[in-house]
Structure 1
Amino acid sequence: MTPPHLPARRRFFARSSGLIAAAALPAWAHASASPNAAAGRSLEFFHTHTHERLNLVYAVGDQFQPDSLGRLNRFLRDHYTGEVGSMDPLLFEQLHRVRALLGARMPYDVISGYRCPDTNGRLRQKGGGGVAKKSLHMEGRAIDVRLPGVPLAELRDAALSLQAGGVGFYPDSQFVHLDTGRVRRW
């Protein structure tokens, strides 16, 4: 057990030091090697805009579950227009691995999943910042989340430790952006 008096960043690294090397392996390798591989990998979400909840097994072994991927696509739809995109399943692997690294039990709070080009353009025009012209949200390759009970900086650090894509840190807006693009941070 990690002492509670350590700063959040140290607690994260103390908890995850043994998992960092394992995180470099593909997610299905973790599942296949675990005694609960048959149970599959699951995710749980609460959408902050639609107030919907979703809890499902999205993969068993090295197989993504098509019905679950369809439910995830619908859940992570553009909440402004209702348009459903096709989310990259590797994004779910990242989310699963981050949650495992952190030992988190609470559902992810979803701020934004898929965004259609019209929504992305409108958000850019509003000038709120942080909306890229060629956002990976429009390709279903990005998600903005937080994990209740986990400091935002710890969530960011866990995502960065995977080296699995882009990680954006938005402390003022209280979310972390994860994507399946090239490895980068901001």
Structure 2
Amino acid sequence: MFSGRTGESIDTIYWIEGEYIQEALKEVSYFMRDWRNSQVKAIDARTVDIMTAAHSLMEVNEPYLLLSGYRSPATNAMLRSRSRGVAKNSLHMKGQAADLRLNSRSVGQMAKAAANCSAGGVGSYYGSDFVHMDCGPVRTWKG
């Protein structure tokens, strides 16, 4: 379901018959670690659910390219110093957000699919060609 900046990829079943598979969620959390310093934080399964549901709605076989999952406070501060678009209390630091790209779908298509899940925040970043998905309050924005 994901490929990453480090060249890694992951395609794992994390939920079966109404139950999360904890080992699979650990794999997802490791994959979505802060790639700048390898710090790992448990990724909120609700975020994975939103990403999975949006992916399914788009009917694609291509895995997401994960640009950013968990961000340590140090990484978030560094990114914030370089860009006004990085939130001081980003949900990335709580393991509740992901920035994603698909080559076969536009930012608009991805954002629409994620927003149709009515389950969290969806940010459309057309200039940088990615969509932010999180399990926070339902809201949308353009960055």
The verdict on a shared fold, with TM-score over 0.5 as the criterion, is yes
* Structure holding more helix per residue: 1
* 1:96 counterpart letter in structure 2: T
The one-letter code matched in structure 2 to 1:46 is S
Structure 1: segments with no counterpart, 5+ residues: 1-43
Larger Rg computed on CA atoms:
1
Deviations along 1:50-79, one digit per CA (max 9) or x if unpaired, are 111111101102111111011111100001
**Letter aligned with residue 121 of structure 1:** A
| 1:138 to 2:68 alignment | no
Quote the RMSD (CA, aligned, Å): 0.8
Kindly state the Cα deviation for residue 148 of structure 1 after the two structures are TM-superposed. Answer: 2.3
Q: Contact (CA 8 Å) 1:143, 1:178: kept in 2 or not?
A: yes
For CA contacts below 8 A with separation 6 or more, give which structure has more relative contact order.
2
Q: Which runs of 5+ in 2 are unaligned?
A: none
Shift of 1:122: 1.0
Count of equivalent residues: 141
TM-score, normalising length from structure 2? 0.95
The reply to whether residue 79 of structure 1 matches residue 32 of structure 2 is no
1:93 counterpart (49, 65, 81): 49
Q: Percent sequence identity over matched residues?
A: 37
Deviant stretches of 4+, over 4 Å: none
Aligned AA for 2:3? F
Q: Offset at 1:161?
A: 1.1
- The alignment's TM-score, normalised by the length of structure 1, stands at 0.74
